[in-house]
């Protein structure tokens, strides 16, 4: 197909790149060989080098082999952004296994679904999650649980102090032949890697996602999928090997943080400042302290950052790259950030099933409202949302279809869903978008988020983008709710800025919206709320708002 977006292609970049024939752990090992003493992770005052993480993951790999792991076995990891995550991550690959990261916020039934559907054999979990783990793994194939303590890899003084004051809880763990401990698994194991058992086309991760429909499913991403995204990011942003420092605020158990922070940083010898729990004050503190050069976040991070009383331009003095994804970034926030700091936020678009990047804004380009152009080796088309054989003209909305080396091989154990999603060799994203004449992509919303008001289609993100221009609004989310006359009506949930609470009424906001939007777009119902429900990475959860009575 014609890649007409090449007219907007960044200068000095090839249209296609070579897809690395390399596993993720081989990339880490190569980095550790070139930069053995370079900091891989900063965590609460402790520094771990690439040589140390390489050797620790080797020991963990041998420990897994002693536990009986076989090639292709799944290992679930329920650990936040602590050193134990990359140790288990790289160690599992070195032992020949595949990782299924677990969101620590899952409850027992949700965990049970993930463990049961993947046939997980071994689980690694933080000890404070033991109650959910023990209930969730019942009647699954989990044979061994490896528990780890929060403070195991923190500086000793902080770990001891935290235990004394109760900030780092260490609960009484269950006993049994199937229970192991992280350091016990690694104890007395060789620092050299086991014989390599994987290749680039083997499954690396089963990342759970709602996909386009139904219950969460395990998207099978290969080493090649993830390594392509890392190489694409390295070339697109022209990051310097051995000279970058990432703020690790995105959770590693999510595709965005896993691919665009952990894997990418490991390939380019970049340091990661680990932040176990998303904390804006901590982000603003570590940025100047460690002279961070790369910030990867979601729109709510940038919204909160700009609204925080301690935010100063000086916080971002060292920053060279700021990237936003997972949801549309309001134009108001993009322009305000650029105006205050002189720093562009590069937007992109992707999903778990595409490792996750599909499109990116070229660096140095300000294109408000767009998520960029398709990246290297990637084809993208917009089709009629009811007939995927009909390609939509430039400028018209339709479903986004994508194909490229970053696209998953399928959903684990879900043949029908895989065939439907990858029909005709194209990934059917379920997202609504359009091209402009220059090949830039604009996102409307998920097909299921689209609001049908009378005969009109209303994109929540478009309404939200305008609402963010109201001086009293800190955060907002728009959903459609059933209406007997209109089919659906538009409702906006709004969190006001602290200084505006009690001074602005819902009627005033609705009247303002009516003045600034087309008659069919403005929200008929305004609801002030103290906070908005968010996912683990900070993405606003519209599905929960739709259930609010």
**pLDDT at residue 385, rounded to an integer:** 86
Chain region(s) in the chain for CATH 3.40.50.12780: 4-16+227-446
**pLDDT at residue 212, rounded to an integer:** 45
Total count of residues recorded for the chain: 549
Q: How far apart are CA 218 and CA 455, in angstroms?
A: 36
**pLDDT at residue 167, rounded to an integer:** 57
**pLDDT at residue 164, rounded to an integer:** 45
Q: How far apart are CA 53 and CA 8, in angstroms?
A: 40
Q: Write the CA distances from 94 to 49, 56, 59, 318, 402, integer angstroms.
A: 18, 11, 10, 35, 31
Q: Given this structure, which CATH class describes domain 4-16+227-446? A: alpha beta
pTM across the whole model: 0.84
According to DSSP, the residues that pair with 427 across neighbouring strands are 402
Sign, Cα dihedral of 380, 385, 386, 390: negative
Which pLDDT tens digits describe the chain residue by residue (549 residues)? 899 999 999 999 999 999 889 999 999 999 999 999 999 999 988 999 999 999 999 999 999 999 999 999 999 999 999 999 999 999 999 999 999 999 888 888 889 989 999 999 999 999 999 999 999 999 999 999 999 998 888 876 565 445 544 555 566 777 776 899 999 999 999 999 999 999 999 999 999 986 444 568 999 999 999 999 999 999 998 888 999 999 999 999 989 999 999 999 999 999 999 999 888 888 999 999 999 999 999 888 898 888 888 787 777 889 999 999 877 788 888 888 888 888 888 999 999 999 999 999 998 888 888 999 999 999 999 999 889 999 999 999 999 999 999 999 999 999 999 999 999 999 999 888 999 999 999 988 666 777 878 767 787 887 898 899 899 999 999 999 988 778 889 999 999 999 999 999 999 999 999 998 888 889 999 999 999 998 877 888 888 898 886
Q: Fill in the DSSP letter of residue 49.
A: E
Long-range contact pairs involving 169-175 (C-beta distance under 8 Å, separation at least 24)? 169/128, 170/127, 171/127, 171/128, 171/130, 171/131, 173/127, 173/130, 173/147, 174/130, 174/134
Exposed (0-12), middle (13-18) or buried (19+): which is 222, by Cβ within 10 Å? buried
Q: What six digits make up the tokens of 89?
A: 């991550």
Chain region(s) in the chain for CATH 3.30.300.30: 451-546
Exposed (0-12), middle (13-18) or buried (19+): which is 277, by Cβ within 10 Å? exposed
Q: Are strands 398-403 and 379-384 parallel, antiparallel or unpaired?
A: antiparallel
Q: How far apart are CA 521 and CA 369, in angstroms?
A: 17
**Residue 146 host element (H or E):** strand 144-148
The model's pLDDT over 32-84, given as tens digits with 9 standing for 90+, comes to: 999 999 999 999 889 999 999 999 999 999 999 999 999 999 999 999 999 99
Q: How far apart are CA 21 and CA 254, in angstroms?
A: 24
The model's pLDDT over 448-465, given as tens digits with 9 standing for 90+, comes to: 777 878 767 787 887 898
Q: What six digits make up the tokens of 141?
A: 């194939």
Chain region(s) in the chain for CATH 3.40.50.980: 24-198
CB 22 within 8 A of CB 200: yes
**Residue 546 host element (H or E):** helix 542-546
Q: Given this structure, which CATH class describes domain 24-198? A: alpha beta
| Domain 451-546: CATH architecture, name and number where available | 2-Layer Sandwich (3.30)
395 dihedral zone (left: phi>0; alpha: psi -120 to 50; beta): left
Q: What six digits make up the tokens of 52?
A: 């140390």
% of the chain beyond a pLDDT of 90: 66
């Amino acid at each position: 197909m014609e890649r007409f977006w090449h007219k907007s292609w960044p200068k000095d970049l090839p249209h296609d790149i070579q897809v690395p024939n390399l596993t993720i752990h081989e990339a880490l090992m190569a980095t550790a060989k070139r930069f053995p003493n370079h900091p891989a992770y900063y965590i609460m005052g402790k520094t771990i080098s690439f040589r140390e993480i390489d050797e620790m993951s080797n020991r963990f790999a041998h420990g897994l082999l002693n536990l009986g792991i076989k090639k292709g076995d799944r290992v679930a990891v329920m650990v936040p952004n602590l050193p134990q995550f990359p140790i288990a991550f790289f160690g599992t690959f070195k032992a020949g296994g595949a990782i299924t990261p677990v969101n620590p916020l899952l409850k027992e039934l949700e965990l049970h679904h993930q463990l049961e559907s993947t046939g997980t054999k071994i689980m690694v979990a933080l000890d404070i999650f033991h109650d959910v783990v023990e209930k969730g793994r019942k009647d699954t194939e989990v044979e061994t649980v490896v528990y780890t303590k929060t403070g195991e890899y923190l500086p000793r003084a902080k770990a001891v102090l935290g235990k004394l004051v109760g900030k780092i809880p260490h609960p009484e763990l269950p006993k049994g032949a199937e229970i192991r401990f992280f350091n016990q698994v690694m104890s007395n194991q060789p620092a050299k890697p086991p014989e390599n058992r994987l290749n680039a086309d083997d499954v690396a991760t089963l990342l759970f996602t709602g996909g386009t429909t139904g219950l969460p499913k395990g998207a099978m991403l290969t080493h090649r999928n993830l390594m392509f995204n890392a190489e694409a990011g390295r070339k697109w942003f022209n990051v310097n090997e051995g000279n970058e420092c990432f703020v690790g605020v995105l959770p590693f158990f999510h595709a965005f943080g896993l691919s665009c922070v952990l894997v990418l940083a490991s390939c380019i010898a970049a340091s990661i400042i680990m932040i176990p729990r998303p904390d804006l004050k901590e982000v603003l503190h570590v940025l100047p302290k460690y002279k961070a050069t790369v910030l990867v976040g979601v729109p709510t991070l940038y919204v909160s950052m700009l609204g925080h009383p301690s935010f100063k331009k000086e916080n971002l003095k060292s920053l060279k790259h700021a990237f936003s994804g997972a949801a549309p970034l309001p134009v108001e926030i993009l322009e305000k950030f650029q105006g205050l700091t002189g720093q562009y936020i590069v937007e992109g678009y992707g999903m778990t099933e595409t490792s996750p990047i599909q499109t990116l804004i070229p660096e140095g380009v300000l294109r408000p409202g767009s998520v960029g152009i398709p990246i290297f080796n990637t084809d993208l088309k917009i089709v009629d949302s009811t007939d995927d054989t009909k390609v939509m003209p430039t400028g018209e909305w339709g479903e986004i279809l994508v194909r490229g080396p970053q696209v998953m091989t399928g959903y684990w154990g879900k043949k029908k869903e895989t065939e439907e999603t990858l029909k005709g060799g194209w990934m059917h994203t379920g997202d609504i978008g359009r091209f402009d004449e220059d090949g830039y992509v604009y996102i409307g919303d998920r097909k299921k988020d689209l609001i049908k008001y009378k005969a009109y289609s209303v994109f929540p993100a478009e309404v939200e983008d305008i609402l963010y221009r109201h001086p009293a609004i800190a955060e907002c989310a728009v959903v459609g709710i059933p209406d007997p006359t209109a089919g659906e009506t538009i409702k906006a949930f709004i969190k006001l800025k602290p200084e505006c609470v009690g001074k602005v009424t819902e009627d005033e906001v609705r009247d303002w919206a009516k003045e600034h939007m087309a008659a069919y777009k403005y929200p008929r119902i305004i609801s002030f709320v103290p906070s908005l429900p968010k996912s683990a990475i900070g993405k606003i959860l519209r599905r929960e708002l739709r259930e609010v009575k």
